[in-house]
Copies of this chain bind each other. A is one copy, B any other.
Amino acid sequence: MDKNLKRMATMHRMQVKGLELFYQNGYYNTSVDDILKSLSLSKGAFYHHFQSKEDFFISIIQNLIVQKVYAVLIEPVEKCDNPFRAIESCFENALETAEHNNMDFGFILSNFMTEFNRRNPEISKYLKDIYKVWEVNLVSIFQKAKTDGYLERHVDSEAVATYLISSYIGIRTLMVEGNCKALRYQYMQQLKAYFKSIEQSNLVS
């Protein structure tokens, strides 16, 4: 039984380091050897646990990236009452983390979506599914917000979700070039201005 634990531990180490390097240097620009060297493991170990580099990356998506997106962007938004305040603080936190985390190279999902687009449809599919979950989650939150009297009824929930996701992907892309603090401040300021234009003004409080 101890064997199985060791197996899981080794695979997890590889996945964590793999994500780190893929995120940092890109998938195609990171070799399996790079990952193995920084873990002092051998080719044999890698191909014993994973079928191929592609299979390895898919396991990273399923085991690490999905959880990251859930933890940072989906769960924090669900529990709050006023969805706009919830999204604001969620984005504020996420951007602040990105800003202070010196190992940050942009929004993990959009980086990989860009890299795999038209080059590896299978992986693209996995990534698109994660973004889809995020989108659906936002849409249902906005639907509920209409019921709760936070969002004007005539507003298109899906359009708001799309616009939100777009701006988030974009600001994260811009932040990798530095000047993060100013960008975050400017972004949050205008996000609030945007929300004001679609928020229900007469609250039934």
Contacts and interface: CB of A to CB of B under 8 A. Distances in A.
Interface in A94-130: 105-106, 110-111, 113-115, 117-119, 124, 128
Nearest to A196: B197
A167 interface: yes
A145 to B, nearest CB: 15
Contacts of A177: 113, 117, 124, 128, 131
Contact of A113 (B26, B28, B173, B183): B173
A80 to B, nearest CB: 22
A204 interface: no
Given A119-B26, A176-B117, A165 B159 contact: no
B28 A190 contact: no
A89 interface: no
A109 to B, nearest CB: 10
A147 interface: no
Contact of A163 (B155, B159, B167): B167
A202 to B, nearest CB: 17
A191 B177 CA distance: 25
A50 interface: no
Interface of A is mostly: helix
Interface residues of A, number: 48
Contacts of A25: 118-119
A199 to B, nearest CB: 10
A160 B186 CA distance: 8
Contacts of A159: 185-187, 189-190
Given A105-B117, A106-B117, A119-B26, A174 B162 contact: yes
24 contacts: A105-B117, A113-B173, A113-B176, A114-B115, A114-B173, A115-B115, A117-B177, A159-B186, A160-B190, A162-B174, A162-B183, A162-B187, A162-B190, A163-B186, A163-B191, A165-B174, A166-B170, A166-B174, A168-B170, A169-B169, A169-B173, A169-B174, A193-B194, A193-B197
